[in-house]
A and B are shown apart, each in its own frame.
Chain A
């Protein structure tokens, strides 16, 4: 049974750096083909993909946020960490981590964490 859970601060101040941790179970990030992604959702708005890290440490970022994002993994701890620098009120959102599958021409997120709401305010 695959589960993921996000943790981190619920409130950050503008210009601060956000660090979120995704702790997962039921799979190994050392297994070929496995990935973990981060997706966020501002209140009342659409899902927005942020980043993904693969079993081989390959990392991909949303182009518009690439300079602000860093994704890392600790496979031994079953954790993936996302950092986002220079936070702004527009970054207020629920942040989700999710298990990513690649299969042929399919690329999808089949298990999601519950999400964590991060508010950016002074």
Chain B
């Protein structure tokens, strides 16, 4: 079973600052890491797929990188609406796995 570990649990930043979120996979054969944003009371929203491809309509300040076991979501300059929970997700052997999440708070 592929385990995804996200760090840090909480990131306390101010608007305009850069956010760097990490997702580490236990399985080196990790494929197609995706990133989701979730705001309170809402369903998650897909931001990034295949590690670095931004979904249409997602602002350019969101970017993804990484390969193998280490993946990163970067928000270049935080806007007030970016303060939320972020999850990474992987697929291996036809099962989906989520990381525990990182909360980006003001």
> Do A and B share a complex?
no
User: Which residue numbers of B lie inside 8 Å of A, CB to CB?
Assistant: none
